[in-house]
Amino acid sequence: MGIELEGKVAIVTGAARGIGKGMATALLKAGAAVAITDIRQETLNETSAEFDKIEGARHLALMADGTKDEEVNDAVRKTVDAFGRIDVLINNAQSAVTGINIEDQTVADVMNGIDTGFLASFRYMKACFPFLKEAQGTVVNFASQAGLLGNVGMVGYNAAKEANRALTRTAAREWAQYNITVNCIIPGMLTEGSKEFFDANPEHYKHSLANIPLGRLGDPENDAGALVVFLASEGAHYLTGDTFNIDGGRCMRP
């Protein structure tokens, strides 16, 4: 990849599989020490065992629920105890109730997306702030094509992802005085979950590819991972408050 992050420390939430795992892998290979968090213990253990095989990689696997202040604070404390600092925070974790239109969704359904996404990002940012301030670090939040396009049956998820963009812009302005950069990514990746869905719905896969100018879905490590490695590097430290589409051109914006 050509970018060295030796000496930097990152936290990646929701990193037991999918995009989070791909980004954590890329950060590890670039030389960063990485704490990965998730709520799936078995999958977290499997990913941790894979990371043990990466030569020279330093990582920490932590069970942590982003909806619980005490677990977020504990994960941040354990990361600092293990590695001495935090330079990079990647807020990737999210769950949501989907497939139900607005008139049939409950407030609890909507709040599931808000709490696991937007508020979890907010919690991690608050907990990491003193260390990011000291390191003049970097935050990467996640938005979604679904939020941009208003995908049906996904109001809580869509709202959480668009709220993440507002959080990103606000933090970018407030934390610029500390030389902390805050950006957002809208991904279009082929993950284990999306592959399972596409295998069961091949016509949907064809339709998705037809709407991507580059004709493919992205790779979590080589595409999303490469972008976060760049954003974590000194070469990207004049970029802040922006949203980066990494989706093969599907959601081009003026």
DSSP-assigned letter for residue 218: B
Pair 88, 138: CB distance under 8 Å: yes
> What pTM was estimated for this model as a whole?
0.94
Query: To the nearest whole number, what is the mean pLDDT of the chain?
Result: 95
- Confidence bin at 62 (pLDDT 50/70/90): very high
pLDDT in tens, 86-144: 999 999 999 999 999 999 999 999 999 999 999 999 999 999 999 999 999 999 999 99
Quick one: average pLDDT of 185-196? 86
CB 163 within 8 A of CB 119: no
Spans of all domains in the chain: 9-246
User: Quick one: 174 exposed, middle or buried, by C-beta within 10 A (0-12, 13-18, 19+)?
Assistant: exposed
Average pLDDT over residues 134-160: 95
CA distances to 58, 137, 138, 229 from 90, in Å = 17, 11, 9, 11
Give the separation between CA 33 and CA 45, rounded to whole angstroms.
Answer: 17
Residues acting as catalytic residues: 157
pLDDT score at 191: 84
CATH superfamily of this structure's domain 9-246: NAD(P)-binding Rossmann-like Domain (3.40.50.720)
What is 114-164 written as a DSSP string?
A: IIIIIIHHHHHHHHHHHHHHHHT-EEEEE--HHHHHT-TT-HHHHHHHHHH
Q: What is the mean pLDDT of residues 51-61?
A: 95
Give residue 251's pLDDT band: very low, low, confident or very high (50, 70, 90). confident
